[in-house]
């Protein structure tokens, strides 16, 4: 049997997804028996020109990690789409924009200024800003930042998804085996390497079930008990609105879930679902108490949409707003 | 006609032995509770005075088999008004306890959990105002289970379940979404998107917070600028529905619910305003005008205020555009 041709790519990502593949350890040897790696810039010496030279559909499976952050990310996403029979969004960035997607809240220009001019410890006396397409000496080209971070399926057709920031390596192995044995998926057909239901199903913590809390604490403000449900202790936990698959890794390290495995099946907007789970546990019996609980939630977008902002209903709405000025000037006169 | 032979004194004793049932016989039958009770707005056959009276006469079969004993939501609107200071919802609760012991059940409808989807997260067990939900073992999983006799079909758990595992026959998600979108009201560019020439707002109304049809009629009179979608409770609102409406052409969303302390389902209004409060914080952080979403409360003594509040929101949305043009 011919070996499967496998590619791995990283776009706007931290590198954790590649580590998750390296973490396969000995399984990599098994993988090498059945698959040839034809492109994996993070780990092996391949160049983009190698992919450009391939014919369409040459690659069987591409595991694409990272968000679409720069013009180059977009270019490579389109290129790999055409060269691959199955394109898999691998990890939270490719699936839903992840933490890079949070920069959509203030936009790319602000992100650059913050990182290269304002951030504590930054010394940039000439005020140089990268991020705009530029040609440098020795025919080096720096790609520009896209105005908004996108998930992979928002720019090309995706065949299947592997969730997680990064995906748990056991699930990665499971996903790869599913791909190798069950045939290649077609356009968004499958979530690979997840378990049924939401994380709480796998969480070992005790839930009394009737405990409501007056306000929420952030994790650095107190040491959580290691046995009791975080929500019932007043720490925000995204477990109820997060797909199972990570085997409760954070929970076991006494850290609340922040939602990197994305929403449960059929749920469109993860942030709304986390919000629901949190509000359900408010103890307040009057408006003043409710205000106190609301005020205890610092950085609501970062709390509810940490991984999914780029694909959220909220980001969609904010983009409408940015597109609005010329359009509304037509009927500027207030009507009564 | 009531025959003395039907009277069963042990029934009275049973009720009075239950916590909250002690005051059964102090009722004067003045009917103040019936005059106050909101359930009667939708079901005129419900009459707490009559139920107390029949129970006080010991009419076991009649009372236990009636559907009325399951309808009191324990809102306690009648309690402060009863001249005999009878905690009527507690007496109703005592009668229900006797009924359950004797094998009677609430006619429903009640919330239903899809055990194949439920993760046992316990969000619903926390949110239910009636503590009607518990987690039970199902094979190696723990899943939510609704006690149908305690469920008041407020729909709050259905909105809260982060997995979408709960359904209820009344005010289902499909029903609400189809009412939001009906006749193409949503799914077209709104005023703020440069589509409609006038602002359009979606008004979710808790059906109990509006005391008369005339109040609602004044909102309907505002025409197609306003789409009214009734809810069983303001706590039934789902944040994803609000964001969907704003994305699909509604310029604003108004959620109307009961005044603090007057909620028909105990804490529903607090959940409704909490969701709106958090969503408004999210809008602000995302740079979207907060004027586009508001919670308004309607008190038991408010008359004809809703249409004014709706108009106020319409105007504030117009001012948004005026301000954007001046910038
Ligand atoms: S909310 Fe978090 S801590 Fe509580 S059961 Fe779910 S995953 Fe576990
Ligand atoms: S407590 Fe509320 S629902 Fe029950 S009888 Fe009194 S007014 Fe009616
Ligand atoms: S909220 Fe939903 S998933 Fe969680 S326990 Fe209740 S029914 Fe199950
Ligand atoms: S519908 Fe309301 S009363 Fe019934 S179980 Fe759900 S939250 Fe409780």
Per-residue pLDDT tens digits for B246-301: 999 999 999 999 998 899 999 999 999 999 999 999 999 999 999 999 999 999 88
Which CATH number does the domain B171-326 belong to among 3.30.70, 3.30.379, 1.10.3470, 3.40.50?
Answer: 3.40.50
Does the beta-carbon distance from A332 to B325 stay under 8 Å? Answer: yes
Residue B322 to residue A334, Cβ atoms within 8 A: yes
Query: Up-side HSE of residue B299: CA atoms within 13 Å toward CB?
Result: 2
- Show residues of chain B in contact with A241, CB under 8 Å: 162-163
The 10s digit of each residue's pLDDT in A36-66 is 999 999 999 999 999 999 999 999 999 999 9
Written as one string, the DSSP assignment of B282-308 is HHHHTT--GGGEEEEEE-TT--S-HHH
B75-132, pLDDT tens digit by residue?
Answer: 999 999 999 999 999 999 999 999 999 999 999 899 999 999 999 999 999 999 999 9
Q: Assess contact for B95 and B60: CB atoms under 8 A.
A: no
Residue with tokens 């409406």, as numbered in its chain = B245
pLDDT category of residue A333 using cuts at 50, 70 and 90:
very low
pLDDT band at B241 (very low <50, low <70, confident <90, very high): very high
Stretch 86-105 of chain A: residues touching chain B, C-beta under 8 Å: 105
- The predicted-structure confidence for B147-193, as pLDDT tens digits, reads as follows 999 999 999 999 999 999 999 999 999 999 999 999 999 999 999 98
Q: What are phi and psi of B253, to 5 degrees?
A: -130, 130
- Return the SS3 of B157: helix
Looking only at the bridges linking them, the beta strands covering A160-162 and A84-90 are: parallel
Q: Residue B327's pLDDT is what?
A: 61
The tens digit of pLDDT for each residue in A188-213 reads: 668 898 999 999 999 999 999 999 99
0.90 surpassed by complex ipTM = yes
Nearest residue of B to residue A269 by CA position?
B240
Q: Tell me the two tokens of residue A116.
A: 């290269």
| Interface contact A135, partner B, CB < 8 A | no
What Cα–Cα distance (Å) separates residue A268 from each residue in A309, A327, B48, B231, B244?
A: 12, 28, 43, 21, 10
Which two three-digit tokens encode residue B53? Answer: 């009276």
Q: What is the best residue among A210, A250, A253, A257 to mutate for testing ligand 1's pocket, by most ligand atoms within 8 Å of CB?
A: A257
Domains in chain A: ranges and CATH: 4-97+151-182 (3.40.50.700), 199-297 (no CATH)
**CA neighbor of B51 nearest in space, from B99, B92, B102, B108:** B92
Q: Around B12, how many Cα atoms within 13 Å sit in the side-chain half-sphere?
A: 16
Query: From the CA of B152, how far away is ligand 3's center (Å)?
Result: 18
Token pair 């997260």 in the structure block, residue? B121
Distance CA A170, CA A20 (A): 9
Pick the CATH number of B112-160 from 3.40.50.720, 3.30.70.20, 3.90.78.10, 3.30.300.210: 3.30.70.20
Tens digit of each residue's pLDDT (9 = 90 or more) over A204-247: 999 999 999 999 999 999 999 999 999 999 999 999 999 999 99
Which residues of chain A are within 8 Å of residue B275 when distances are taken between CB atoms? 275-276, 279
Query: Quick one: pLDDT at residue A1?
Result: 62
Q: With a cut of 80, say whether residue B59 has pLDDT above it.
A: yes
Q: pLDDT (tens digit, 9 = 90+) per residue, A304-325?
A: 999 999 999 999 999 976 554 4
Which residues of A, range 9-28, sit inside 8 Å of B by Cβ? none
Interface of A with B in 182-221 (CB under 8 A): 196-201, 207-212
Q: How confident is the model at residue A138 (pLDDT cuts 50, 70, 90)?
A: confident
Q: Tell me where in chain B the CATH 3.40.50 domain(s) lie.
A: 171-326
For ligand 3, whether the C-beta of B120 sits within 6 Å is yes
CB-based contact B257:B234 (threshold 8 Å): yes
What pLDDT shows up at residue A326?
Answer: 39
Residue A18 has pLDDT above 80, yes or no: yes
Instruction: Give pTM, 2 decimals.
Output: 0.93
At the fourth CATH level, the homologous superfamily of domain B4-101 is Alpha-helical ferredoxin (1.10.1060.10)
The pLDDT of B26-55, averaged and rounded, is: 93
Residues in chain A: 336
Whose CA is closest to atom 8 on ligand 2?
A: B37
């Amino acid at each position: 049997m011919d070996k499967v041709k496998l590619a791995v790519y990283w776009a706007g990502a931290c590198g954790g997804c590649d580590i998750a593949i390296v973490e396969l350890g000995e399984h990599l040897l098994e993988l090498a028996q059945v698959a040839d790696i034809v492109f994996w810039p993070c780990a092996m010496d391949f160049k983009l020109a190698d992919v450009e030279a391939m014919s369409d559909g040459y690659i069987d499976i591409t595991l694409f990690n990272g968000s679409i952050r720069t013009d180059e990310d977009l270019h490579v996403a389109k290129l790999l789409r055409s060269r691959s029979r199955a394109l898999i969004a691998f990890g939270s960035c490719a699936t839903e924009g992840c933490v890079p997607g949070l920069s959509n809240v203030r936009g790319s220009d602000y992100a650059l200024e913050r990182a290269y001019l304002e951030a504590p410890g930054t010394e940039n006396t000439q005020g140089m800003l990268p991020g705009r397409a530029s040609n440098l000496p020795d025919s080096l080209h720096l790609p520009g930042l896209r105005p908004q971070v996108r998930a992979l399926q928002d720019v090309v057709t995706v065949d299947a998804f592997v969730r997680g920031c990064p995906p748990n390596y056991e699930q990665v192995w499971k996903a790869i085996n599913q791909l190798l044995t069950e045939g290649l998926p077609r356009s968004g057909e499958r979530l690979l390497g997840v378990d049924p239901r939401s994380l709480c199903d796998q969480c070992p913590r005790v839930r009394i079930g009737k405990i409501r809390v007056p306000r929420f604490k952030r994790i650095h403000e107190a040491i959580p008990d290691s046995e009791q449900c975080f929500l019932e202790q007043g720490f925000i936990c995204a477990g109820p609105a997060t797909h199972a698959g990570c085997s409760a890794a954070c929970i076991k390290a006494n850290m609340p879930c922040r939602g990197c495995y994305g929403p449960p099946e059929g749920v469109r907007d993860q942030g709304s679902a986390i919000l629901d789970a949190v509000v359900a546990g408010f103890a307040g019996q009057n408006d003043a108490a409710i205000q106190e609980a609301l005020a205890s939630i610092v950085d609501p977008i970062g709390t509810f949409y940490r991984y999914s902002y780029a694909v959220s209903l909220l980001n969609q709405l904010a983009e409408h707003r940015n597109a609005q000025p010329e359009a509304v000037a037509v009927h500027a006169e207030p009507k009564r | 006609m009531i025959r003395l032979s039907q009277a069963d004194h042990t029934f009275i004793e049973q009720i009075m032995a239950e916590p909250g049932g002690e005051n059964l016989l102090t009722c004067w039958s003045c009917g103040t509770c019936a005059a106050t009770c909101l359930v009667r707005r939708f079901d005129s056959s419900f009459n707490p005075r009559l139920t107390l009276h029949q129970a006080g006469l010991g009419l076991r079969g009649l009372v236990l088999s009636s559907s009325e004993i399951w309808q009191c939501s324990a809102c306690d609107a009648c309690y402060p008004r009863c001249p005999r200071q009878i905690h009527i919802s507690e007496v109703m609760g005592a009668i229900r306890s006797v009924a359950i012991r004797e094998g009677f059940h609430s006619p429903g409808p009640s919330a239903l959990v899809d055990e194949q989807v439920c993760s046992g997260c316990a969000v619903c067990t926390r949110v239910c105002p009636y503590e009607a939900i518990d987690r039970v073992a199902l094979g190696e999983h723990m899943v939510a289970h609704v006690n149908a006799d305690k469920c008041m079909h407020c729909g709050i758990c259905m909105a809260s379940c982060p997995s979408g595992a709960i359904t209820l026959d009344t005010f289902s998600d499909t029903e609400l979404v189809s009412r939001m979108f009906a006749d193409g009201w949503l799914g077209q560019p709104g005023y703020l998107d440069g589509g409609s020439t006038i602002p359009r707002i979606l008004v979710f109304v808790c059906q109990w917070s509006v005391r008369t049809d005339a109040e609602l009629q004044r909102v309907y009179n505002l025409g197609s600028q306003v789409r009214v979608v009734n809810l069983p409770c303001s706590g039934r609102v789902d944040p994803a529905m609000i964001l969907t409406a704003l994305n699909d052409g509604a310029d604003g969303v108004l959620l109307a619910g009961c005044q603090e302390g007057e909620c028909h389902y105990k804490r529903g209004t607090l959940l409704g305003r909490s969701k709106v409060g958090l969503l408004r914080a999210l809008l602000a952080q995302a740079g979207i005008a907060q004027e586009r979403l508001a919670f308004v409360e309607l008190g038991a003594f408010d008359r004809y205020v809703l249409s004014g509040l709706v108009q106020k929101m319409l105007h504030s949305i117009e001012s948004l555009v005026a301000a954007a043009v001046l910038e």
